[in-house]
Amino acid sequence: MLRQWLSVLRPHGRIALISDGASAWYSGMLPGLLAGRYRPEQCRVPLSPLCASAGVELIQGEIVGIDPNSNSLRFADGRVCSATWLSLNVGSKPQPLPGDFRELELVPVKPFEGLVCAWRTWQKLPMPLAILGGGAAGVELALALAPQVPELTLISSGEILAGHPPGLRARAIRCLASANVKLIEGSTVDTVYGDALLCGSQIVWRGKRLILATGATPLPWLKEGTLAQDGRGFVAITPTFQSVSHQHILAVGDCASLPDCPRNGVYAVRQGPILARNLAAALEGRQLSKFVPQPHALALLADGKGGALMSWAAISAEGRFFGWWKDRLDQSFIHKLTIR
Ligand SMILES: Cc1cc2nc3c(=O)[nH]c(=O)nc-3n(C[C@H](O)[C@H](O)[C@H](O)COP(=O)(O)OP(=O)(O)OC[C@H]3O[C@@H](n4cnc5c(N)ncnc54)[C@H](O)[C@@H]3O)c2cc1C
């Protein structure tokens, strides 16, 4: 969205970007970073120069509460910030796992800063590792990390890559096998006891280190107020990105819920230009545009060796060409947002 305002004059008025970090990590390059193919600075966008160039104030801080009736946000350090229009783009976090974590180190995939930090420490003394969650993120992380640990287990409650074409799933299973990843499908881990992951009373895995890639759940503070939610607690929005209950609050990306719009980075990025247009229209009192999700999106999953698995609609393929293509797309995304 900010990129749009680099080329088109931003609307009048005071506009601020609130972020809990000084830069925004790009998830598409995270598996490559952990595989040792990128440096951290290649995978994140520094926000300060981007905001300065777009004429937007940067406010750093962690939001912990929202009052939708006064359009105000509460920060962890006690500050409160209110605005005529709010746009929520705070992403999601993996589904938490209940239990006792005294004997097991558990690291969620998000926030990325925490995962990158934990991985740096773990790398100094490699040990068997489990990844919980067999979606695209879990599969890519398993392929990136398997060559660097003595044993890697990928655990999925259902089949891995559910919702993706069967061809992509078959390719991923072959790739995981050739990387010596132990795959456990159909096991819903519901608790942790000591060093064991349990499905009911059955032990699924024992070890010391676990990465949680259990799919998107909403940030807890979004569920507290009177902002309309879907059944899972994501912000319910209309096709103009406005909250169905509070029209001065917009939401996009993982934190929002729009029928027929999957929750992944491709759709979040596609929403950016419409969000920029709609915020300008909102500030200038014009009509907001509707976002129509594209029916299919290209999926490119890094195979951990420089290649990638690809799917689009029902088609799938793999190889080094797709790895090269993914690198080009990822690096050009970061390049367009990095202001020197
Ligand atoms: C390992 C991994 C790999 C992935 N790879 C792909 C891929 O290749 N392709 C794809 O399409 N999707 C991918 N995804 C999914 C993708 O990351 C998300 O769908 C996408 O990032 C959602 O964008 P977003 O802008 O909604 O949220 P995010 O990208 O998560 O951004 C949210 C921002 O809000 C900030 N924030 C969060 N909470 C607060 C708070 N309380 N206060 C202040 N700031 C806050 C965060 O720091 C962050 O900058 C991947 C996910 C993971 C975990």
Tens of pLDDT along 98-117? 888 889 999 999 999 999 99
Whether the CB of 157 sits within 6 Å of ligand 1: no
Surface-to-core class of residue 182, CB atoms within 10 Å of its CB (0-12 exposed, 13-18 middle, 19+ buried): middle
Question: Considering the chain, what is the average pLDDT of its residues?
Answer: 95
Position 135 scores a pLDDT of 96
At the fourth CATH level, the homologous superfamily of domain 94-216 is FAD/NAD(P)-binding domain (3.50.50.60)
- Residue 61 phi, psi dihedral angles, 5° rounding: 165, 160
Condensed to tens digits (0 to 9), the pLDDT of residues 19-34 reads 999 999 999 999 999 9
Whether the CB of 257 sits within 6 Å of ligand 1: no
Answer whether 4-90+218-284 and 94-216 agree in fold.
Answer: yes
Tokens at residue 1, please?
């969205």
Which residue, judged by its Cα, is nearest atom 39 of ligand 1? 90
Ligand 1 atom having least distance to the Cα of 30: 1
Tokens at residue 329, please?
């797309």
CA pair distance 21, 23, nearest whole angstrom: 5
**Which mutation among 2, 27, 29, 50 tests ligand 1's pocket best, with the greatest number of atoms within 8 A of CB?**
27
Which residue, judged by its Cα, is nearest atom 8 of ligand 1? 28
What are 75's strand-pairing partners?
63
Q: Where are the alpha helices (DSSP H) in 62-165?
A: 112-124, 136-145
Percent of the chain scoring above 90 in pLDDT: 92
- As a whole number of Å, the CA-based R_g of the chain is 21
**Which mutation among 235, 264, 328 tests ligand 1's pocket best, with the greatest number of atoms within 8 A of CB?**
264
Position 146 scores a pLDDT of 98
Query: pTM to 2 decimals?
Result: 0.94
Ligand 1 atom having least distance to the Cα of 330: 8
**pLDDT grade for 225, boundaries at 50, 70 and 90:** confident
CA pair distance 268, 261, nearest whole angstrom: 9
CA pair distance 157, 138, nearest whole angstrom: 12
295 CB contacts (<8 Å, ≥6 apart)? none
Of 40, 22, 18, 29, nearest to 90 (Cα)?
A: 18
Residue ranges per structural domain of the chain = 4-90+218-284, 94-216
Ligand 1 atom having least distance to the Cα of 62: 42
Fold of 4-90+218-284: FAD/NAD(P)-binding domain (3.50.50)
- 212: alpha, beta or left? (left if phi > 0; alpha if psi -120 to 50): beta
Ligand 1 atom having least distance to the Cα of 91: 27
Q: If residue 66 lies in a helix (H) or strand (E), which one and from where to where? A: strand 63-67
Position 178 scores a pLDDT of 97
Can the peptide bond before residue 111 be classed as cis, meaning omega within 30 degrees of 0? yes
239 CB contacts (<8 Å, ≥6 apart)? 258, 290, 291, 292
Residue at token pair 């991985």: 119
Ligand 1 atom having least distance to the Cα of 61: 43
Q: Would you say residue 7 has pLDDT above 90?
A: no
CB atoms within 10 A of CB 115: 21
220-232: average pLDDT? 92
CA pair distance 230, 244, nearest whole angstrom: 10
